[in-house]
Amino acid sequence: MSPASAPYLLEQVVNDPDPRILSLNADLVSYDETAVKFLREREISFIRSGLALLIDSFLITNAGMVKAMNANGCGRMQLNILVMQQNLKNIEENVNLDRATSFFNLFVEGPEAVLKQANRAESTGETGVKETFGYDELKTLVELCYSEQLEDPERGISSVAKRRMDEHLLQLSELMWQS
């Protein structure tokens, strides 16, 4: 998730996953093979259970570490998620990283979709539903939606983006904190 190791403000589509994701996948497989070699089935099951949930949560919680992201960078992130999910299926049963996938799909749809998601969760009274995101997660997502424009060297573009982002954050706050 570090912008230094994997930029997400890309000028072209990237069709290869992050080298760090591939390295992490190799490490997970190696760790799993070691666990299988030295532990009993019950302990192996304990170690494996929840690994996908941990990674799913990590991807969303640490999305704020990404300095700037555009559509091509989001495509790279989605590819990384898919590669991680496929690798985790070899380790843990019934793996999906649907929450992280949904999170970055909202990025592609834009800040209005983020507000619709917040409004949907609020109007239906959903709490604890897997697809529902908290205020801080949605706030990070709105900030990511404007991050490319905020990084623009032209002052006018970044000023307009800052103003629009602030408006969307205010609307998000109102939606999420209504009684």
Distance CA 146, CA 68 (A): 8
68 contacts 9 by C-beta, under 8 angstroms: yes
Quote the pLDDT of residue 169: 95
Distance CA 164, CA 179 (A): 25
pTM beyond 0.85, yes or no: yes
Chain-wide mean pLDDT for the chain?
89
Residues 32-70 pLDDT 10s: 999 999 999 999 999 898 899 999 999 999 999 998 999
Residue 124's pLDDT band, with cuts at 50, 70 and 90, is low
95 contacts 89 by C-beta, under 8 angstroms: yes
Residue 130's pLDDT band, with cuts at 50, 70 and 90, is very low
Average pLDDT over every residue of 125-154: 82
The three-state secondary structure class of 69 is strand
Quote the pLDDT of residue 179: 38
